[in-house]
Copies of this chain bind each other. A is one copy, B any other.
């Protein structure tokens, strides 16, 4: 019966409850850092957080959203996570989206140390954000890196907080899909990735060799970390100098440059394509080898 809470699907929470106040504070970075927790807003982010194993500690839901997404809310409640029913007005105030969809989860941070990612896997494609400040851009690059099959995304130096609400939303769930490193120092990251066998390629529209250059393409077949700079001023020379090579997405028309998310999409998919062609080729050779023995 919509509108009546049952123990299985949550209990009503007033506008002044301590859990709600604690959640509201997570709209500020300093509180997120202190609590190592953030807000995942909307049914997609909440479902991804829950199903991808993020530590969800509270769910806030409106009565209409509980009806619409009953299975999800019931599953979260069944996992022993407190479900708090709040009014649409309280949700509007808690959520940062213009049209909140009535579901919001408090999640523990999901980022992992870079060393751990390298210890447990051999990353072949990594996106490295160097001072990317706009949360929408950073979240879109995270989503694109996920789509391109990247193995990690690193938020380095003065890059935006990956747990910023706008970044979480722009990532469309990808924050929960692939390992994210937060608050890293770019120079350290470059050293660590290089020691792990990755080439560091700086996406640099001004200085780089063109992405379609056959030699560049051949090198992209190996393990690669793409370094992307700030959306307004790109990568300054001292950061480009940290990389093994600068590479430019070629501009064939009259545009001065590409925006960050578009450039990242072209670069990451270029790597994904040549890495897969190579590994398909190796797989083919290996099968042929088996046939020959």
Contacts and interface: CB of A to CB of B under 8 A. Distances in A.
Contacts of A144: 255, 258-259, 262
Interface in A254-268: 254-259, 261-266
Interface string A78-101: 000000000000000000000000
Interface residues of A, number: 38
Q: Tell me how many chains of this kind the complex includes.
A: 2
A133 B279 CA distance: 39
Interface string A171-184: 01110011000000
Given A258-B265, A265-B266, A253 B173 contact: no
A138 to B, nearest CB: 13
A252 interface: yes
A144 B252 CA distance: 10
A33 B212 CA distance: 42
Interface of A: 140, 143-150, 170, 172-174, 177-178, 212, 249-259, 261-266, 269, 272-273, 276-277
